[in-house]
């Protein structure tokens, strides 16, 4: 990847994770890759904002990018560590060996993590205070504590004179960057839609649990005159930064409900009895013009399900009884959604059983504290009859009415 000048002597440095089968954070599939962005400010003092992960040849690649701006790693005077998650700090240990002079600016909570993760002693760090500024000749940096977007020690850095926000994980998205299209005004409408979808999935996978801190952070930043947003993943927003700010606000507000008038339907079936009802349910939803996102488990990964589930007003789960409980892969999906704080949803459950069932009882127990409004359920024994299909049409119709009320 080549470097890109953002404005004056401020540069974008970036690598893409594109390895097939790579799981981001060890869990989340990223079939379209993800970029890890850092930023370089050349001036009276040379500043590096966020590093990169210590996988593949990433540190070497970023070093070469720094060199292509005609300075070396050893010339960096200030390293800003917005966030200690290893995708941005993995290089820190070696960076500090290579460069023994750079002063690290980070939050107070990050200081012990420098040592714990990278063996970097506290005396190399300056712990910022919220709103603190750092005059650097032609540049002026301001630091903001933005705890829990995404770890407790996270902060953002604002270049005051140009209105550039280095937002770290906030406003980020999955999706590799194209060599020649790293700014929002360089990507096609189709690519915009792609990044929006990847931003939602990134949000649901990584940030969703921290939606309250996101709303607090947005409130804190609302007074800034932000002209350019430089996140640590995804494209740079310079033409219209409010687009991604509005998206993030909307995503964070989904945590409080009601979400878009859409349904995410997740189903599983061992022998096809539960599966046969799925098309009947989809038919009812489409008849009511309610968009539906359909996933099957096992098979479809919860990382993908989360994005649509996060924004949908309604969730429908279909699974048979398995050893007196829910079919295990579905139990896992439900557990994961609850853990990610997918809340305030209208929910419907359906499924076949063989003799006395058990999935419904298990479902009720596992979702008791989910914050979901379970509007209906439908179970039948063995293969669904025509009467069962009629009954489920009616039950799903009532469920659709509840989506109108939200």
For residues 67 and 323, which CB has a smaller minimum distance to ligand FMN in the complex? Answer: 323
C-beta of 263: minimal distance to ligand FMN in Å?
20
Residue at token pair 């009601």: 258
Q: Between the CA atoms of 86, 92, 94 and 96, what dihedral angle is there, to the nearest 10 degrees?
A: -170
Q: 160 with 141: CB under 8 angstroms?
A: yes
C-beta of 379: minimal distance to ligand FMN in Å?
9
For residues 28 and 353, which CB has a smaller minimum distance to ligand FMN in the complex? Answer: 353
For residues 152 and 358, which CB has a smaller minimum distance to ligand FMN in the complex? Answer: 358
C-beta of 318: minimal distance to ligand FMN in Å?
8
Collapse the DSSP code of 10 into the 3-class scheme (helix H, G, I; strand E, B; otherwise coil) and give the result.
strand
State the chain's maximal CA–CA distance in angstroms. 78
Q: Which of 35, 145, 43 has its CA nearest to residue 88? A: 35
For residues 342 and 392, which CB has a smaller minimum distance to ligand FMN in the complex? Answer: 392
C-beta of 152: minimal distance to ligand FMN in Å?
43
Position of minimal CB gap to ligand FMN: 354
C-beta of 352: minimal distance to ligand FMN in Å?
4
C-beta of 401: minimal distance to ligand FMN in Å?
27
Q: 319 with 346: CB under 8 angstroms?
A: no
C-beta of 276: minimal distance to ligand FMN in Å?
8
For residues 198 and 388, which CB has a smaller minimum distance to ligand FMN in the complex? Answer: 388
Query: CA-to-CA distance for 151 and 268, rounded, in angstroms?
Result: 34
For residues 262 and 300, which CB has a smaller minimum distance to ligand FMN in the complex? Answer: 300
For residues 138 and 323, which CB has a smaller minimum distance to ligand FMN in the complex? Answer: 323
Q: 65 with 15: CB under 8 angstroms?
A: no
C-beta of 323: minimal distance to ligand FMN in Å?
5
Query: CA-to-CA distance for 183 and 350, rounded, in angstroms?
Result: 45
Q: 358 with 321: CB under 8 angstroms?
A: yes
CA 239 to chain centre: 22
For residues 273 and 370, which CB has a smaller minimum distance to ligand FMN in the complex? Answer: 273
For residues 158 and 353, which CB has a smaller minimum distance to ligand FMN in the complex? Answer: 353
Query: CA-to-CA distance for 273 and 26, rounded, in angstroms?
Result: 34
Residues that bind ligand FMN (CB under 6 A): 269-275, 320-324, 352-358, 382
Query: CA-to-CA distance for 260 and 312, rounded, in angstroms?
Result: 5
DSSP sequence for 286-337: HHTT--EEEEETTTS-HHHHHHHHHHEEEEEEE--EETTEE-HHHHHHHHHH
C-beta of 386: minimal distance to ligand FMN in Å?
17
Query: CA-to-CA distance for 43 and 11, rounded, in angstroms?
Result: 12
Tokens at 163, concatenated: 């209105």
């Amino acid at each position: 990847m080549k470097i890109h000048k953002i404005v004056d002597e401020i540069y974008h440095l970036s690598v893409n994770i594109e390895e097939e089968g790579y799981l981001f954070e060890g869990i989340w599939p990223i079939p379209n890759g993800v970029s890890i962005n850092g930023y370089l400010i050349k001036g009276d003092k040379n500043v590096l904002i966020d590093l990169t992960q210590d996988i593949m040849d990433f540190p070497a690649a970023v070093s070469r990018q720094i060199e292509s701006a005609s300075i070396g790693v050893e010339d960096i005077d200030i390293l800003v560590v917005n966030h200690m998650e290893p995708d941005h700090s993995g290089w820190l240990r070696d960076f500090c060996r290579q460069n023994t002079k750079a002063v690290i600016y980070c939050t107070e909570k990050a200081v012990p993590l420098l040592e714990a993760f990278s063996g970097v002693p506290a005396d190399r760090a300056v712990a910022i205070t919220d709103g603190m500024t750092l005059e650097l000749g032609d540049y002026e940096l301001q630091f903001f504590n933005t705890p829990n977007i995404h770890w407790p020690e996270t902060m953002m850095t604002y270049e005051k004179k140009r209105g550039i926000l280095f937002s770290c994980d906030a406003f980020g998205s999955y999706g590799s960057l194209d060599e020649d299209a790293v700014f929002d005004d360089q990507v096609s409408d189709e690519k915009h839609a792609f990044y929006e979808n990847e931003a939602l999935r990134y949000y649901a996978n990584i940030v969703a649990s921290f939606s309250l801190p996101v709303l607090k952070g947005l409130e804190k930043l609302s007074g800034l005159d932000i002209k350019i947003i430089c996140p640590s993943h995804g494209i740079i927003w310079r033409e219209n930064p409010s687009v991604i700010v509005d998206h993030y606000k909307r995503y964070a507000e989904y945590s409080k409900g009601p979400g878009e008038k859409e349904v995410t339907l997740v189903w599983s079936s061992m022998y096809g009895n539960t599966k046969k009802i799925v098309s009947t349910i989809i038919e009812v939803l489409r008849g009511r013009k309610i968009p539906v996102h359909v996933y099957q488990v096992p098979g479809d990964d919860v990382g993908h399900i989360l994005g649509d589930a996060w924004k949908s007003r309604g969730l429908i789960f279909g699974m048979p009884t398995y050893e007196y409980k829910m079919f295990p892969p579905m139990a896992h999906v439900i557990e994961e959604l609850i853990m990610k704080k997918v809340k305030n949803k209208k929910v419907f459950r359906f499924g076949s059983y063989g003799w006395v069932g058990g999935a419904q009882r298990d479902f009720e127990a596992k979702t008791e504290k989910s914050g979901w409004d379970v509007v209906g359920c439908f179970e039948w024994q063995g293969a669904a009859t025509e009467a069962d299909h009629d009954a489920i049409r009616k039950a799903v119709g009532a469920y659709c009415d509840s989506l109108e009320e939200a």
